Structures are given as structure tokens and as C-alpha cells.
Amino acid sequence: MSFNSFGHLFRVTTWGESHGPALGATVDGCPPGIALSAGDIQPWLDRRKPGQNRFTTQRREADEVEILSGVYEGKTTGTPIQLMIRNTDQRSKDYSEISKTFRPGHADITYHQKYGIRDPRGGGRSSARETAARVAAGGIARRVLAQLMPGLRVTGYMVQMGPRLIDRSRFEWDSIDDNPFWSPDAETAGLWADDLDALRKTGNSVGAVIEVTARGVPAGIGAPVYAKLDSELAAAMMTINAVKGVEIGAGFGAAALTGVENADEISMGEDGQVYGSNHAGGVLGGISSGQDVVVRFAVKPTSSILTPRGSVTVDGENTEVVTKGRHDPCVGIRAVPVGEAMMVCVLLDQLLLHRAQMGDTVRGHIG
Amino acid sequence: MSFNSFGHLFRVTTWGESHGPALGATVDGCPPGIALSAGDIQPWLDRRKPGQNRFTTQRREADEVEILSGVYEGKTTGTPIQLMIRNTDQRSKDYSEISKTFRPGHADITYHQKYGIRDPRGGGRSSARETAARVAAGGIARRVLAQLMPGLRVTGYMVQMGPRLIDRSRFEWDSIDDNPFWSPDAETAGLWADDLDALRKTGNSVGAVIEVTARGVPAGIGAPVYAKLDSELAAAMMTINAVKGVEIGAGFGAAALTGVENADEISMGEDGQVYGSNHAGGVLGGISSGQDVVVRFAVKPTSSILTPRGSVTVDGENTEVVTKGRHDPCVGIRAVPVGEAMMVCVLLDQLLLHRAQMGDTVRGHIG
Amino acid sequence: MSFNSFGHLFRVTTWGESHGPALGATVDGCPPGIALSAGDIQPWLDRRKPGQNRFTTQRREADEVEILSGVYEGKTTGTPIQLMIRNTDQRSKDYSEISKTFRPGHADITYHQKYGIRDPRGGGRSSARETAARVAAGGIARRVLAQLMPGLRVTGYMVQMGPRLIDRSRFEWDSIDDNPFWSPDAETAGLWADDLDALRKTGNSVGAVIEVTARGVPAGIGAPVYAKLDSELAAAMMTINAVKGVEIGAGFGAAALTGVENADEISMGEDGQVYGSNHAGGVLGGISSGQDVVVRFAVKPTSSILTPRGSVTVDGENTEVVTKGRHDPCVGIRAVPVGEAMMVCVLLDQLLLHRAQMGDTVRGHIG
Amino acid sequence: MSFNSFGHLFRVTTWGESHGPALGATVDGCPPGIALSAGDIQPWLDRRKPGQNRFTTQRREADEVEILSGVYEGKTTGTPIQLMIRNTDQRSKDYSEISKTFRPGHADITYHQKYGIRDPRGGGRSSARETAARVAAGGIARRVLAQLMPGLRVTGYMVQMGPRLIDRSRFEWDSIDDNPFWSPDAETAGLWADDLDALRKTGNSVGAVIEVTARGVPAGIGAPVYAKLDSELAAAMMTINAVKGVEIGAGFGAAALTGVENADEISMGEDGQVYGSNHAGGVLGGISSGQDVVVRFAVKPTSSILTPRGSVTVDGENTEVVTKGRHDPCVGIRAVPVGEAMMVCVLLDQLLLHRAQMGDTVRGHIG
């Protein structure tokens, strides 16, 4: 048990607060002999970095990662890798006001209730800034998976912002990197831009749904009953700030289907079995089937908004809270690389667990 | 790491196959001095038992639980409690046919791909029969929580079957136990009965959505960042057979809301802070707020249906699969007591974790 | 965290009390496809069984193991294996007297202090009877290791009883099974028999030192820093009832050596590197070197003796305690197969951990 | 599972190599509201620091600890505490020679065999420098225990160096801090000084035995069966570099005793039960009894010596190894504060586990 760790064998422990001197991740259990430098990790951090465009917070953080241990002459040694990111843009300001009220819908009040103390500077430990450490750890996982799961491609993208969904008939993998919303549907991305501009002007925010697809996952990853791949993914995604729901494959939509509709029929193709559909999202009985692993998660609108909302003070007085400062109007945008990072960390961890029990054996082809 | 355990301190390890001699749960970490007998656990098992009405499988299992250890003179001793349920209705039959094909949408194929071996008798370890062990463990958790979280009431119910949802304006807590669907809306329960009768006649099955509400959870339970209460609940619910999605509070609906709409405003009431709404589902930043904890999960339609679906054999030949036998047309119905069991186990486990770090301190009232 | 489990990936959870209906072990993480029947496990239980000769307790337990799950058609399936041993020789007697006093040197008093309740029947959970479950689990580990570590031979034996040590110049592997003390020195075994007969007549008991040697462990098993092979072995042996010390290789003797004496010099032999000595006991920096892994543990004399010793009652009155009944005069004898079981379980668990991080790679030969 | 973590609830993960930029510890699970600054931790690091006198290595490390997270306005917040110690005395030198041979008795060869790669600079991760991180973490544990276990006093001291033991009749707690060997027997300390001067001149090293006593541990800490307090302590001490044996109370000496001799008789004193002796070392059945908890561990002589020893190269050639540089002639001396740190970390972790299961209940007084 560790409150701030995830993964069983590829084990990541994150630490640090939004406005402390630094934050980071201790990554234990990494296989040795993997070529790794800060330069391999930095590009993933840059994708998540604030201030990239007008739709994300204007906080300016370099988010430069340093490797403090676990690498010798450019290769991992099998010992723990310490990743550190210094916080550089901590505006000195007076937190006395903030520390006395609770933003509605924010962790302010529950931290206070649990611990009797909280770090109010930028949200402290509850800030989404913590996710930088995950993305850095994900950068390591990607390096390892490049060797151990060579055909793997993990891609996150936004499929809904507010009430507006993408049109799946316009889905283009290549569009994802070409717009500030990681949208696979360029046309919807344009509409979202208008939506978000309007929201920002009114001091409001909005929710989103992110989908992460892993292509090239071999069959057999995951395990019954409480180490199911989908359970691990659900836990992982639900730890991301502001996430309120997770689904696999058809997800909540499966509730409305019949068994005849939902069955992913199987037949023999040229290179082994093929499936007629993927309602399962690539996971059957907690174990990967070889189909694409498809996970979606819902991100609520940030509670840090300019519109006043009713709240209470630590002393039990009614008040109104307005959150000034540099906040993301749609935190879902920057959650995309975080969701990808969680996916790669879970896949690597589950692959190591699989190797433990099964050795290097991989069975995929039926017959 | 353990593939078949859940919980950190109130730790449940289940074992057993659908058609083996017995199945059960090893429950470790239970506080001592709690009055406990098989009779305290049996009523919860009876709620989940098959063959209760025409809408569930006609398999006849007594599901009688025996306590083999951890209790002395009617009280828990703090040592592990072994719960055993003998399988009595294992019809002897020829499994050679079943063992050679894979039901589309079922774990048959992935167990085969992972392990190269599977127990085909009634689905072996992948059978929902495993959930009997969870419900038994949940019976113990309820006894402990009756002492440690005295005001707690955990209630599961169905809110959607197929495309048909309950009407929340007709929600009655008292209706839930009065119909075979655990529906809080008696009128919808009647429509579901018609829906399901029609589906069964055509050899089909259907999905569902279950909601579990925990009333009376004190503030402060759960922990950032990777031990979030909602992450633990998501993992727990996602381990239940056929579950494809989990959400907390407004869940996926939160994606369509603005920050202004989603904020649960707070004000001071007579007995401390009160909330104007509960979009958060009782969890903020991974920690309970004192509001009702509300979790929903989607259950897919069972893949064991009488309608033929295309599949392949272990030898790589195309075939069609028809699953005869006694199967639930809507496995969501019997998932209701299972969801409740997972909720109580998670709440107790998190309460013990909270006690470890904080002692018996509980802070709820602001001001 | 689990109070009653050991192992990380080959994970054993034991349950049951001395005089309850049954005891056993839940074994999770076992690789699939391993041929296994109760008959494979029973011989190891028979070695530990009470009443084998006049030097062990005369309690008569069949110690017959049943496999309740995890095996299909004679092979492990990768799902949890439940092992159950029924308690058959539970003499009905009045425990009211025993439950009111504390045997000096026994867990009676600390269980009472911790839990406020204890099962006094035969020592309840604190009885060495729990070790039957470990030996059964060890039987499974041996089956797996026969495939994954083919040259492995694990042998336990007694090297000291009371103040009398074996003479290492008379060490014969073949003698170990030929005397009731598992002594590799037949002559000393004869002297121990006389020693023990004398002790029993005076209602006394005696301590012992057990050595367990694992031959054929490949290099590379174990890991720095807190998963060191020797740390795992120390923890495992120290969990055996009555054990008060554990050492590896030269152990406490190394404290008296100089660095020049203690260095195990290395040179190239015909089949790779060879060592001039084995003060390290086969473990360097927490990782196996390919030399024999040698562990010793000290077992204290049982506190259940016929000679009256001063104690107190639960009500805080001074009293004298005499423990009647069927007790081992030297519990160290029956600890030998238990020590072997712990060794094989640790080695398998560590091998699985090694495979997770390193795959099937094994490097042993230098150069 | 984590290779580089210890503790279940007070969980310490150490990271860093001897000659990398920094090393440290991530401390998770610390209770909130504890006053803590770097100044509270530094004194414990200073006790372990090299170069304090002529009997320890002359490497000059400031060992200044920085707190990077988990503390706000001088108090712990319940979130992870990151401790960082920069390495300042990394003499640049040519490691190409060192990286090609293996010191006999050192982890060089097993790291190579396991990982196929090792950091040869100052021993990399296998260096005893890692223990600085433990001592820092222990400093935090002491602050917490000052509140949660107020009467606790944990003291480590050397009881044997080479073949020379202290004379227990001259044991003085107050002497321990007055000599460079942490000896409770001032006279023996003087003899050790002569012994060690002689050894150093001949380019040799020597082993030692350290004892750590915890006074003021309440009854009831620890748990059966695999979470025994003595098992946890054995594991913890055995993870310290160069440790080859651990014992509790009478330890290996108990093997030579009879049950009559070994029984620690109990009687009622003025303030509850008192014990006539403490062969048990304060632990019965894995649970603390309220007596002093007494642990001893054996430290082997360092393998880094100036006397040439036979070895092999990575290419499989015979060679001789002489280890130049700044090494401790008796690493046991600096292991004293490390043993203390492990004791306090284990005690706090076990106390938190106790609170989880039992709440704030502490029972000590019988009757």
C-alpha cells in the first residue's frame, strides 16, 4: 500500500506540490539496458506543458526533466530512476485569503477535513500539476515498450467537449496532432475553438471526454480476477484529476445492447483470428484479446472559475468564491497526454506481470 | 501484488471455479471482537443466489457459507477468516465440445491465449459464480462497518436495462426490495419484466446499469493521489464480471456541463455545511466529502446466448457457437448485491487506511 | 499489505487455527500447465507430520491435503489454488483454565494484549500447526521449480540441538533422512537422542539450529535494495514459530573475521568462475551468485513444558503455569521441513520477480 | 512489490547512486501536522556522516538534506515527503579498470550477472552510501513517534568488533556517544581502537555486531503470522549493506537453552506485569510484549581492501584485485545509526498497521 504509487512491478511514486521547489517521480522496477536520456522524456512533457496555445493556462513552466539516478552511460541500470522537474513559475502571492475558503467542487474542503492542514499554494498536492510527473514516467515506459511490445502505438484524443461530440465518420489519426484539442475530427476542432472562446469570456469552464487507443497490444496481457487489465486501466484513469468516469470498448453503451448485437464475432483471417467488431474494447475477462484496447474517460469542468459560486469559510461562514489566476477553461485538453501516459504505464506493468508468471511466452494466434 | 486479492488492509482473496468442489474467500485484516456467524453472512448470499425468480439462471445452488477460521466463540479474533461455499449443482456433462470453441465476447479465448489451458466447466474461474465469494466477504465488512461507520447505509439498484431507464421522479428507496430487478421505480420494473420475457423467448440477452449509493460515509475517507476513493471504487466495480464502465456522481454527464453548472455550492446549515447538489458523487480530490457516495456501472449483455454467433475453434476453424444451459438473460440483476459488496469492502478498507494515518480522528463539521 | 500472506508474485496466504475445523493455504500466482495433484504435496506434509517418532508430539493428525481449486485435469490453470487440511485430532477438553493464564515465553499474552481476545484451543492461530499450510504450499513451489530451476536441490537439516553441534567433518548428505533429527552427522544424532530422552523425563525442552542449503540456484536471483534475497529469506525464516535468529553463509561468524579471511576468492574453472570459499552463503549484494545458498535459523525451546513457571492470570493475579498435553520437546526437529518450504517459496517468488524484470534471461557464466 | 521500498504504510522508497548527482528517499504515508524541518533530520545524518574520525572513510560528504515536498509552513501535510541529499565529493577518476573486474565478496559480480550492466562509480547503487537516505527517513519517523509513542528511546551500539566482545558488566548507556565506536563499554572501545589501527596498517578490515534496543515500545505492536514484528525487523536489518545475520533477544543463544531456562517468568508488579528476564527480546508470537525490543545484527568485514585477492575479469581472465580509495576498515561503526533508523521506521510502520486494525486502542496492563 502506498498512497502515491501506482503499478505493481513498473512502480511509479510521484511527489511534489504545485508551488513547492520541485515535483517528480521515482520509477522503480524498470528493466536494465534501455537507452534513456532526459531528451527521450522531454517531448512528452512538452505536449502536456501549459501555455502552448490560448486554450490552456498561461502559467509558464519550462517543465524540464532531470534524471537524478538509475541511468549510467545512457542506459538504465535496473535501479530506481528519479525524475525531477523544478517549479519555476511560482508567483509569490498572498495565499491567506485562499487558504480560508473552499472552492466548490474542489479538493480544498476534503483535504481540510481529512488532514486538518493543506498547502493552499496553487492547490498543493491536489493540483493537476502532479500529472507532469506521470507523463515523465510514461516517457520511460514508452522506451521500454519500444523494445518489449514493438508494434505498440498509444494515442489519446478528445472525442467530446461540452455537449459537442466528434463525428466518427470524419475520424483521421493524422488530424490529432494538427489542432490544439487533439481532435481526430478537424471540423469539430474548429467548432470547439469557438465554443471555448465563448466560455472563457464568460468566466466559465467545460468538461470533456478523452479516448485513448492502444494498437498492437498482444493477446494475453492482464489477469483474472482483481488484476484485470480493464480494472487496472479504470483505476489508473480515475486517478487523473477531474476524471469522473471510465469505460472500455462499448462502455455504458453496452447496457443498451442485446447479446446478439454486442457479441464480437470471430472468424479466421489470413494471419489468425479476426473480429467483426470491438465492443469489448480489446479486453475479455480482464485479458487482452489482441484487438485495439480502447478506453474513454470523462473530465469534469474545472471548479476554478471566475464566476462567483456560493461556499463557506474554514470558520463556518457563508461566502462567495471567485477563482482568479491562470486556469485551464477545459482541463480535458491537457488530460490527453496524461491519459496516454497512464495507458503506457499500465501496459508495461501488466506485461511485466505476465512475464513473471508466463516467461517470455506470448500466444496470440489461434489454431 | 496478488491477482486474486483486493483491498489493502481489509484484504479479500477469492478462490474457486464454477464447477470445482467449492469456492470461497480468505478475508485478512478484519478487526477483532466483532460478533460474526454464518447466519450474519447468509442473507446477503441469498440475495445474490440464482434461481430466485424467472429472470435469473435456473441453476440451483444453496450457496451455504461455512466459516472455517478466524472466529472464536462467535467473535472475530483478528486472524484470517476463511469462507467456503460448496458447489452442489455441478451437472455432470460432456465438456469436450465446449472446450474446443470460444464464445464470442467471452473470456474463453483470452484465457486460452494467456495460459494455454482453461477449465471449461461452467466457465471455470471466469464464471460470475466467483462473485458469491465477494458477497460473503461483504457480509463481514458490513458487520465491521456497523460498528465503525454506524450511520452507513449502502444500497444498490438498477437504473437502466437495455435502452430503458428508470424515471427518477418516481424513485422510491422502499420499492427496491419489492421487485425482481432491484428497481427504485416500480413502474419501470414492470416494463422491464415484459422486455426481458420477450428477449428470453428469442434466445437473447441484454445489458444494464447499476447504481450503488452509500449514505452516511463520513468526510475524509480516501486519499490522494493513487489511493483516491473513486479510483478504488472504479477498480473494484470494474473487476465484476461483464462490467464495461464505471462513473461517480455526474460521471460522463459531467463532460457536457459547464463549471458553473457542475459546481456543488456549499452553505452553512444547522448541522454544518450543506451542498446544493451532488455532481461530485460524494468524492472531491479522491476524498469523501460527507455527501452520498454515488457510483454507477454498466453491465454488458451476457455472451452466453442461444442465438448462434460466428466463432472459431481451438484448431483455427470457423464455426458457430450456441450456448445452451442455464444462463441469466440480464446478468445485471444479480450484479446488484455484488456492487453493494464491493462498495462496503472498499469503504471498510479505506476507513482502516484512514485510521492508520490519522488515528480515530474524524473531522466533518466545518467551522 | 496482508498480515497472513508471504511472497510477492508466488503469493501464499495461510489461514486456520490449531483446533478449528480446518487450516490451509491460498496459493496465488502459480504458473499454469504444471502437473499437480494432492499426491505431489502429501509426501512433504508427511515429513512434517506429528507423531512420527518418540521425539515429536504424539498428537495424531492425518494432515491430508485437499486441492479445492486451481487445478484442472491434473494441471495448474494459473488461477488460485486452495489447499485445505482438516483438523481431525481436536480432543474436546475444557479450555477455560488455559484461557485464563499466559504461558511464559508464549504468544498467549501478546495476542491478549493486542486483540483483547484469543482462541486458546491448542494455541489457536499461534500454534506451529499453521506451518502445515506452508509445507503444502512449498510442495507446489517444488513442482514449479522442477521446471523453472531444474538443477535445484533444497535440503534442510539440524546442525545444533541444545549446546551440542554436529561435527562438520562427518557431514553426509545421505545421513539426513536416516535419523529422526534430520542430522547430516549420524554420530551426533545418536547423542541427541540421549539428550532429548533425558530432557523429556524432566519435563523440559530444548532449542536447536537448522540449516537449509539450496544447491543449483542460478546467479542473478534477488534484487537490491529492499528486495534482497537474503532479506527475503531472513523475513521468511523469522516468521516460523519460535525462530529467534537467522543468518546467511558465515553469518554471525563473519563479525569475527577480517576482510582478507572473509573474501571468497574467484578464479576461472573449466565451466566458468569458481569460488575458493562460500562465506557469503551464495548471496552478494542481495543477489544470488550461483554458489550454494546457505541459511541457518535458531529455534528456541518450546515454552509449553511440564515444569511449573511463574506467570500471571488475565485478572492480574500471580500464578504458576504447567503445560500438560502433547508437545514437542524440541520443536526444531519439525521445523526442518518448514524451513525447506520457506526456502522453495522464496526462491520461486524471486525467480518470478526476476523474470518480470529480465524476461527469461539468465546470465551465470562470466567471460 | 517494489524493489527499493520498505514499510507498508510508512513507506520509504530510496533512490540514487554513490556517485550520481544526488540520492534520497520518498517517504509516503506520514501522518499530517507533524512539525518537521531539515534541521530535525540533519543531526541523524551527521551521526552517520563519513570522515568523523580516523576509523571511518575519509570521503568528505556534507550530507545536507533538502525537503522538496510534503511540508507546508513547517508541518507535514500527509502527502509524500521528498528528501534529497546531493553528492558533493565525487572525485572524477577513471573507472574503466574497476568496471572490468569484480571485488571478491562484493556485489560487483552479481549485479553484472543479473543486469548485464552496472554503475561502477563508487559501487553505484550497491554502495553503503544508500543508507544516508534511510537515516534521513528515520529522522522523520522519529518526529512522528515522538508524538505517537512518546516514551520511546531507540539506541544502537556496537557489542563486538572482530573477535572481541564488550563486557556487559561494564554496560553504560551514557558511554555510547562518548567514543567513536558507539560502545556502551568504554574500556573495550579503547581496545577496539588499537585493534583497528593495527588492521588498517595491514590493509585489512574487520566485522562487527551491532545491537539496537528500543525502550518504551507499547505491547501489541506487530501481527501474526507473516507480519511478525521480529520478521519485519529481520528483513529490515538484513537489507543493510554487509549484514549477514539478525537475531532477537537471546537469538542464536536460545538454541542452547532449555525451556526452563528460556522462559521469561511473569509476575505482577506495582504498575502491571513484570518479567524476570527478556530472552524473548520483547517479542512474543510476533507481537511486542512491552519489554525492551532487542535486535542484533552481524556486519561482515568490507570486501574493499588494500590486500590483493584473487578474482576474475568480465572477460573471464584470472586477476588480482586491490581496492584503493577511501574505505571504512569496519563498516559496522557507521551501521549503528543505520540500524537505529531501520528500527524506528519499522516501529512506526507497525504502529500505523496496528492503528488501522485496532484504532487508537492500546492495551498493555494485564488485569
How many helices (H) does chain A have, and how many strands (E)?
7, 18
Residue-level pLDDT at D363:
66
What percent of chain C is modeled with pLDDT above 90? 83
Residue-level pLDDT at B362:
65
Task: Give the C-alpha separation, C110 to A49, whole Å.
Answer: 55
Round the average pLDDT of chain C to a whole number and report it.
Answer: 93
The neighbouring-strand residues paired with A153 are: A215
Amino acid code (one letter) for D42? Q
C-proximal residues of B, 160-219, CB under 8 Å: none
pLDDT band for position B91 (cuts 50, 70, 90): low
Contact A82 D22 (CB under 8 A): yes
Chain C nearest C-alpha distance from D149 (Å): 16
Residue-level pLDDT at D98:
81
For residue B78, the chain D residues in CB contact (below 8 A) are 223, 357
pLDDT band for position C301 (cuts 50, 70, 90): very high
For residue D355, the chain B residues in CB contact (below 8 A) are 355-356, 359
For residue B84, the chain C residues in CB contact (below 8 A) are 68
3-state secondary structure of A101: strand
Q: Is the pLDDT of residue C11 over 80?
A: yes
Which residue, among A28, C31, C357, has the nearest Cα to B3 in the 3D structure? C31
Q: Exposed, middle or buried by CB within 10 Å (0-12, 13-18, 19+), for D307?
A: middle
pLDDT band for position C365 (cuts 50, 70, 90): low
Round the average pLDDT of chain B to a whole number and report it.
Answer: 93
Residue C112 has φ and ψ, to the nearest 5°, of: -60, -45
For residue B224, the chain D residues in CB contact (below 8 A) are 79
For residue C14, the chain D residues in CB contact (below 8 A) are 225-226
B-proximal residues of D, 11-70, CB under 8 Å: 29, 31-32
Residue-level pLDDT at D294:
98
The tens digit of pLDDT for each residue in B229-245 reads: 999 999 999 999 999 99
- C260 touches A: beta carbon within 8 Å: no
One pLDDT digit (tens) per residue for chain D, 367 residues: 579 999 999 999 999 999 999 999 999 999 999 999 999 999 999 998 877 778 887 777 789 999 999 999 999 999 999 999 999 876 667 777 788 999 999 999 999 999 999 999 888 999 999 999 999 999 999 999 999 999 999 999 999 999 999 999 999 999 999 999 999 999 999 999 999 999 989 999 999 999 999 999 999 999 999 999 999 999 999 999 999 999 999 999 999 999 999 999 999 998 889 999 999 999 999 999 999 999 999 999 998 888 899 999 999 999 999 888 767 899 999 999 999 999 999 999 999 999 999 997 766 667 7
Residue-level pLDDT at D90:
66
Say which residue, A58 or B349, is predicted with more confidence: B349
Q: Angle formed by the axes of helices A331-358 and A38-48, to 10°? A: 140
Say which residue, B296 or B47, is predicted with more confidence: B296
Instruction: Name, in order, each residue with C-beta under 8 angstroms of D203's C-beta and a sequence gap of 6 or more.
Output: D305, D306, D307
Chain B nearest C-alpha distance from C203 (Å): 30
What is the three-state SS of chain C? CCCCEECCCCEEEEEECCCCCEEEEEEECCCCCCECCHHHHHHHHHHHCCCCCCCCCCCCCCCCEEECCCEECCEECCCCEEEEEECCCCCCCCCCCHHHECCCCCCHHHHHHHHCCCCCHHHHHHCHHHHHHHHHHHHHHHHHHHHHCCCCEEEEEEEEECCEECCHHHCCHHHHHHCCCCCCCHHHHHHHHHHHHHHHHCCCCECEEEEEEEECCCCCCEECCCECHHHHHHHHHHCCCCEEEEEECCHHHHHHCEHHHHCCCEEEECCEEEECCCCCCCEECCEECCCCEEEEEEECCCCCCCCCEEEEECCCCEEEECCCCCCCCCHHHHHHHHHHHHHHHHHHHHHHHHHHHHCCCCCCCCC
Chain B nearest C-alpha distance from D355 (Å): 5
User: Residue A331: is the preceding peptide bond cis (ω within 30°)?
Assistant: no
The tens digit of pLDDT for each residue in C303-356 reads: 888 899 999 999 999 999 988 876 789 999 999 999 999 999 999 999 999 999
pLDDT band for position C261 (cuts 50, 70, 90): very high
Mutation target among A10, A13, A244, A257 for the B interface, most CBs of B within 10 A: A244
Chain D nearest C-alpha distance from A148 (Å): 16
Q: Is the pLDDT of residue B355 over 80?
A: yes
Q: Which residues of chain A have pLDDT under 50?
A: none
Contact C9 A352 (CB under 8 A): no
Residue B150 has φ and ψ, to the nearest 5°, of: -60, -30
3-state secondary structure of D215: strand
Say which residue, B89 or A178, is predicted with more confidence: A178
Q: Is the pLDDT of residue C53 over 90?
A: no
Task: Give the C-alpha separation, D217 to D238, whole Å.
Answer: 22
Residue-level pLDDT at A324:
80
pTM, 2 dp: 0.97
H or E segment to which residue A13 belongs: strand A11-16
The answer to whether residues B310 and A273 touch, using CB atoms and an 8 Å cutoff, is no
In which residue are the cell numbers 554496560 written?
D171
Residue-level pLDDT at A51:
76
3-state secondary structure of A206: strand
pLDDT band for position B207 (cuts 50, 70, 90): very high
Among chain D residues, CA nearest to A80:
D15
Task: Give the C-alpha separation, B284 to B264, whole Å.
Answer: 11
D-proximal residues of C, 269-328, CB under 8 Å: 272-273, 276, 279-281, 283-290, 298-305, 307, 309-318
The tens digit of pLDDT for each residue in C164-212 reads: 999 999 999 999 999 999 999 999 999 999 999 999 899 999 999 999 9
